[in-house]
């Protein structure tokens, strides 16, 4: 796979041209940024773990009928995905108050929300990803009302499924961010889940102790950042202890 054409380099991933038309190779870096890249660092092994965690979650979601861009993992740091036209939105779902919601609305972090809340942010680094409403999204043509209906339906299904999956291994899914893309097959367009789902874009707390196992350990200088990501993989039963063949199933927590 040497000398493939690089199409895009983001903060945590690089996209290369794939082996067949309509495919891309998604490479996971160890680089981490926070607060719109004002804070930068490296989390050793993060790329390997996020590649594996995102593969696992996308596969499980695929099994319940959620369309995703994921095709297959290629190696420790790369996965093959379908090329989609990314909708320029960060779709955030919150189950428990944390992060910017807790700050913005003055709600104590850890407060269970009366229901799951979806928020949209316009993907634009120069503008620092501002929060936007459905009105902005449809007025500026980033997505149609019909696209948004699909996005909300998919997002709520993903939230229900992943909340249960994580709770089964003793983790509370506090909030997370999804990205969607448009995929054309013949003349039909489908909205599919894209990007990645990993501790970089989820808040994952131990269900009993509340201990953080996600990128907040990096954002807030809590230490043991690598260990947090590893613990998520371990609980999901996908942490290769003695190489990639040593993969167990999920460990059910009592
Ligand atoms: P927030 O509380 O900072 O708004 O973050 C909400 C969720 O979205 C959290 O799980 C982290 C994730 N997120 C990203 O994946 N990328 C981002 O750029 C931001 C700001 C948040």
Domain limits, the chain: 3-84+224-248, 85-206
Q: Distance (Å, rounded) from C-alpha 62 to C-alpha 150?
A: 16
Q: Is 100 in the pocket of ligand 1 (CB under 6 A)?
A: yes
CATH, range 85-206: 3.30.470.20
* Residue to mutate (ligand 1; options 35, 92, 101; most atoms within 8 A of CB): 92
Instruction: Quote the ligand 1 centre to 242 CA distance (angstroms).
Output: 33
Q: Which atom of ligand 1 is nearest to the CA of 100?
A: 2
Which of 175, 172, 176, 170 is closest to 235 using CA atoms? 170
State residue 242's pLDDT score: 46
Regarding the domain delimited by 3-84+224-248, which CATH topology (the fold level of the hierarchy) does it fall under? Phosphorylase Kinase; domain 1 (3.30.200)
Answer whether residue 249 shows pLDDT above 80: no
Query: CB-based contacts of 209: which residues, under 8 Å, 6+ apart?
Result: none
Asked whether the domain spanning 85-206 has the same topology as the one spanning 3-84+224-248, the reply is no
Instruction: Quote the ligand 1 centre to 100 CA distance (angstroms).
Output: 8
Which of 250, 247, 110, 88 is closest to 172 using CA atoms? 110
What confidence tens digit (pLDDT) does each residue in 70-124 have?
A: 999 999 999 999 999 999 999 999 999 999 999 999 999 999 999 999 999 999 9
Q: Is 216 in the pocket of ligand 1 (CB under 6 A)?
A: no
Q: Distance (Å, rounded) from C-alpha 144 to C-alpha 110?
A: 34
């Amino acid at each position: 796979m040497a000398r493939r054409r690089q199409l895009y380099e983001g903060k945590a991933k690089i996209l290369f041209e794939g082996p067949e038309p309509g495919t891309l190779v998604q490479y996971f870096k160890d680089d981490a940024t926070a607060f719109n890249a004002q804070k930068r660092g490296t989390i050793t092994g993060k790329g390997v773990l996020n590649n594996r965690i995102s593969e696992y979650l996308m596969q499980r979601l695929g099994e319940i009928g959620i369309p995703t861009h994921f095709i297959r993992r290629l190696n420790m740091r790369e996965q093959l995905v379908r090329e989609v036209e990314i909708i320029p939105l960060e779709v955030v779902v919150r189950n428990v108050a944390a992060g910017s919601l807790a700050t913005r609305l003055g709600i104590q972090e850890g407060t269970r929300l009366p229901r799951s809340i979806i928020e949209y942010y316009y993907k634009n680094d120069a503008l620092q990803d501002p929060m936007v409403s459905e009105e902005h999204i449809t007025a500026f043509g980033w997505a149609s009302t019909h696209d948004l209906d699909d996005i909300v339906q998919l997002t709520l299904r993903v939230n229900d499924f992943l909340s249960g999956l994580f709770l089964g291994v003793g983790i509370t899914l506090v909030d997370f961010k999804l990205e969607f893309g448009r995929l054309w097959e013949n003349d039909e367009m489908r909205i599919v889940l894209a990007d990645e789902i990993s501790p970089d874009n989820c808040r994952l707390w131990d269900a009993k102790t509340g201990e953080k196992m996600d990128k907040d350990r990096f954002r807030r200088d809590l230490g043991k950042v690598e260990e947090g990501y590893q613990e998520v993989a371990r609980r999901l039963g996908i942490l290769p202890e003695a190489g990639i063949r040593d993969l167990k199933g999920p460990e059910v927590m009592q």
